[in-house]
Amino acid sequence: MEFDIGTPRYRPTRICHVVIGGEFGWRNGSGKWPAYSPDSLPSTADIGPGSPTGVTFGYDTKFPEPYRSMLFLCDWSYGRIDMANVSRSGASYKAQHRLFAARAPLPVVDIVANPRDGALYLMTGGRNVQWHVYRIRYEGSHVVSDTESTKSSHPARRQPAAESHLHEFRRMLEGLHQQSGAYVVDGVWPYLGHSDRHIRFAARIALEHQAVGRWKLRALSATDPQMLVTAAIAVARNCPESAADGHQLITSLLQLNFQSLSHNLQVEFLRAISLTLIRQGNQG
């Protein structure tokens, strides 16, 4: 939203890792949640002002590395194609981007990698602009072999075992989102206090799919600060609009020593308090 530039609610064009049960805080106008809100998820990379259109990975191209592993991103308004190197970071991903191609004008609307000739094809047009199709191909001295062109270059295959381990944990928790039973509550509970934000998020969403009566008292009696704050957010989001529930939540949260919490946990604590006041009413 270019007209929001300079306001607290401005959001740049960004790359998001879309997960099961994900929430990215997108609301109209000033209703957008800040990226640090614990009941939403952050971006993988912020690109900046622009008008995002087509995206594709370079896996099917015959470009040399690192281009074959890049995510290509089209920007209609600025007439450019950026590329981002996506790699695992904890249970999610991170990316750094830079310019790949540009000209004026280049109102690019979509892009695709053609596995038959290994080139990128892009189309420009829209809003009464003349349509064109362009091809970008590699003509350097390095010849990409058939083995290279068919071998997966997905960044997930090149990551340390620890990163893969966290991704498996996240997917395991996401697999519980549509299951029901006491075993789900017991299974996800330890992960409400996990150090990885995406793990905590997946665990909370799985918990919220269970009957709140199964876990509300357990949430209110949690002693680990991170676990209590995460569980309190789940309670605030799922309990009826009840002053009694709100009072219980506020009482439990205020048992924490705010000054002893890390900065990130202080932010989450304040969000839990505000959600309780918003959803369960002003407790005076």
pLDDT at 63 over 90: yes
The chain-wide mean pLDDT, for the chain, equals: 90
Q: Where do the domains of the chain lie?
A: 2-158, 161-280
Which of 48-52, 236-240, 262-266, 270-274 is least confident? 236-240
Write down the H helix ranges in 100-181. Answer: 146-150, 161-174
In the prediction, which pLDDT does 47 show? 94
For residue 128, give both structure tokens: 């009464």
Are the beta carbons of 231 and 200 closer than 8 angstroms? no
Query: pLDDT digit string (tens) for 191-224?
Result: 999 999 999 999 999 999 999 999 999 999 999 9
pLDDT at 30: 86
User: Rounded CA gap, 144 and 62, in Å?
Assistant: 6
Q: Is the pLDDT of residue 161 over 90?
A: no
In this predicted structure, the answer to whether residue 147 has a pLDDT above a threshold of 70 is: no
Q: Is 138 helix (H, G, I), strand (E, B) or coil?
A: coil
DSSP 3-state percent helix, strand, coil across the chain (nearest 5): 40, 20, 40
- Bigger pLDDT: 148 vs 132: 132
